[in-house]
């Protein structure tokens, strides 16, 4: 079964850090470009960033609101995608989804940034 | 960064109506455009990819068109299960603001 499962969400104070994980199964993860997408409460979908496959260079790109604070990485040996979030702000509060950029999406993990 | 402008932000329609949602990119994105449906509390569901290709299993009443900067999602005959929020997205990039389709 093709699946993505996010984990690592939780409550963190402003200025804190959190690392999200996304475990992939059922498809060729190493060949896939992967994205993180978030959705703040009651708001629309917001693209966070993307990492290319290693064969395509493995480079990353980020949305302006998170550039310099968030970092995406991947471990193809573990079929796992990561999102390292530093210097968190209250406006980063959202459900975070990983996706293959097309049809495969996780169920989301909730990040709450609050004092 | 490429901006995606979607319209309208919401619409009210009746079962059986034809519905059209538009999406405009701030610069050409060729056909790298996907359409998603999202229902409350759920992850987005891919409907259309590469601007006009219907994902397997998606009802044929959904269709997409366009290339370059202007794109359209059409629902030919609105069904009860189609009331949801729809988003366009440049592949691995920015989303439109969303269109909430509500029951009239």
**pLDDT digit string (tens) for B30-47?**
999 999 999 999 999 999
Q: Are A19 and A109 in contact (CB under 8 A)?
A: no
**Does residue A38 sit at the B interface (CB-CB below 8 Å)?**
no
For A81-108, give the DSSP string.
Answer: EEEEE-S--GGG-EEEEEE-SSS-B---
Closest CA to A48 of A13, A4, A39, B8: A39
Return per-residue pLDDT of chain A as tens, 115 residues: 999 999 999 999 999 999 999 999 999 999 999 999 999 999 999 999 999 999 999 999 999 999 999 999 999 999 999 999 999 999 999 999 999 999 999 999 999 999 9
A102–B89 CB contact, under 8 Å: no
Q: How many CB pairs under 8 A join A and B?
A: 46
User: For residue B40, what is the nearest residue in chain A, using CA coordinates?
Assistant: A42
Q: Are B84 and B38 in contact (CB under 8 A)?
A: yes
pLDDT of residue B48: 98
pLDDT at residue B1 greater than cutoff 90 = no
Indicate the Cα dihedral angle A50, A54, A56, A62, nearest 10°.
20
- In whole angstroms, give the CA distance from residue B97 to residue B104: 21
């Amino acid at each position: 079964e093709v699946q993505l499962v996010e984990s690592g969400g939780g409550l963190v104070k402003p200025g804190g850090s959190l690392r999200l994980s996304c475990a992939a199964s059922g498809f060729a993860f190493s060949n896939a470009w992967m994205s993180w997408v978030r959705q703040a409460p009651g708001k629309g979908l917001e693209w966070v960033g993307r990492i290319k496959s290693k064969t395509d260079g493995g480079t990353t790109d980020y949305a302006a609101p998170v550039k310099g604070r968030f970092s995406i990485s991947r471990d193809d040996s573990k079929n796992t995608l990561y999102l390292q979030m530093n210097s968190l702000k209250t406006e980063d509060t959202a459900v975070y989804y990983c996706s293959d950029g097309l049809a495969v999406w996780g169920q989301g993990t909730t990040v709450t940034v609050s004092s | 960064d490429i901006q995606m402008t979607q319209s309208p932000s919401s619409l009210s329609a009746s079962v059986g109506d034809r519905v059209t949602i538009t999406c405009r990119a701030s610069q050409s994105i060729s056909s790298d455009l996907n359409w998603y449906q999202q229902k409350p509390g759920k992850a987005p569901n891919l409907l259309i990819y590469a601007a006009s290709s219907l994902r397997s299993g998606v009802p044929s009443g959904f269709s997409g068109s366009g290339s370059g900067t202007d794109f359209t999602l059409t629902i030919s005959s609105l069904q009860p299960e189609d009331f949801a929020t729809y988003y366009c997205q440049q592949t691995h990039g920015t989303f439109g603001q969303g269109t909430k389709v509500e029951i009239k």
